[in-house]
Amino acid sequence: MFGKNNLHFVPDMDIFVALMEANHFNSRYRLPLPPQPLRFMNESDERFLKTGEEFLGILRRYGFHETSSLLDMGSAYGRLAYGILQGMNFQGRYLGLDILPKHVEWCRRTITPSHGNFQFEVLNIHNARYNPRGLFDARTYRFKIADDGFDYCALFSVFTHMYEPEIMNYLGEIKRILSPGGICVSTFFLFDEARLPALTDAKGSMSMKHLLNEHTRYHSAEDPLHAIAYQRDYMTGQIINFGFGLLECTYGTWAGDGHGTYQDLVVFKKS
């Protein structure tokens, strides 16, 4: 009765069930999570998935839906991509860009084969902290993306590691790349007069003691791009000067006074 074929039936059944589940449930059961050595933010599996869920929640608040198109700038090892994969039945277009080749390659190898609408591309752009050997200059780089190509752009914890002239170029490019009405969700470290005592006395979780210029401060003397902060009104003013409509500027918890996200959340719209 229990011959060779029956024994083989069990694993076949497993595959069948897995395929069924894949059609009805989200993908977190099918895709391996990024290996620990790639996780330079050192989070646990639970934290990794939770962060992706939080990121997706913010996008959802701004109307992100199953067929939206999203440019995830600084996609790293896929926190937002996994948030989308586990949180919704996404049929739209996702493009993750990052300057870390190994991370991009891992995402491409792991996610794209089963989810062809998730694409990942590496950018050979210089960043003193993340890609010191990068060839191209973030202050002048033009992305190989058509005008009006995406409904959404996300930059979670990316402008917190970029100098102002680089951010200005990215804002111009985002303006070009977003479709009319397109929305950019970004995070920053921001400060104002009220926040300064906490940041310079290091009462918040991330001190910003070092002054680069009147509207720029940073955490580490050795590594300014570890965490760089901008004066709030100055930065939101720049965003508005680019012709964006400012939808939200909410202080996060990093300096000990805000709520919601850890970093400060800045959302703006191409009008």
Ligand X SMILES: C[S@@+](CC[C@H](N)C(=O)[O-])C[C@H]1O[C@@H](n2cnc3c(N)ncnc32)[C@H](O)[C@@H]1O
The footprint of ligand X (CB under 6 A) covers: 73-74, 76, 79, 97-100, 123, 125, 127, 130, 138, 156-158, 161-162, 166
19/205 with CB nearer ligand X: 205
CB of 99 to ligand X, least distance (A): 5
CB of 123 to ligand X, least distance (A): 6
CB of 170 to ligand X, least distance (A): 7
Find the farthest-apart pair of alpha carbons in the chain and give their distance in angstroms, rounded: 82
169/200 with CB nearer ligand X: 169
Half-sphere exposure of 176 (CA within 13 A, CB side): 13
**Backbone torsion region of residue 148, taken as left when φ is above 0, otherwise alpha when ψ lies between -120 and 50, otherwise beta:** left
Nearest residue to 130 via CA among 153, 108, 162, 155:
162
CB of 14 to ligand X, least distance (A): 32
CB of 78 to ligand X, least distance (A): 8
Nearest residue to 251 via CA among 239, 237, 236, 240:
236
Using CA atoms, how far residue 228 sits from 20, 81, 252, in Å, is 46, 25, 15
3-state secondary structure of 131: strand
CB of 74 to ligand X, least distance (A): 3
44/233 with CB nearer ligand X: 44
**Backbone torsion region of residue 42, taken as left when φ is above 0, otherwise alpha when ψ lies between -120 and 50, otherwise beta:** left
% helix / strand / coil in the chain, to the nearest 5? 35, 25, 40
Q: What is the dihedral of CA 104, 106, 109, 110, to 10 degrees?
A: -120
138/255 with CB nearer ligand X: 138
Q: How far apart are CA 178 and CA 180, in angstroms?
A: 6
CB of 13 to ligand X, least distance (A): 37
The length of the chain, given as a count of residues: 271
Nearest residue relative to ligand X (C-beta): 74
73/199 with CB nearer ligand X: 73
95/125 with CB nearer ligand X: 125
Task: Name residue 176's amino acid.
Answer: R
37/180 with CB nearer ligand X: 37
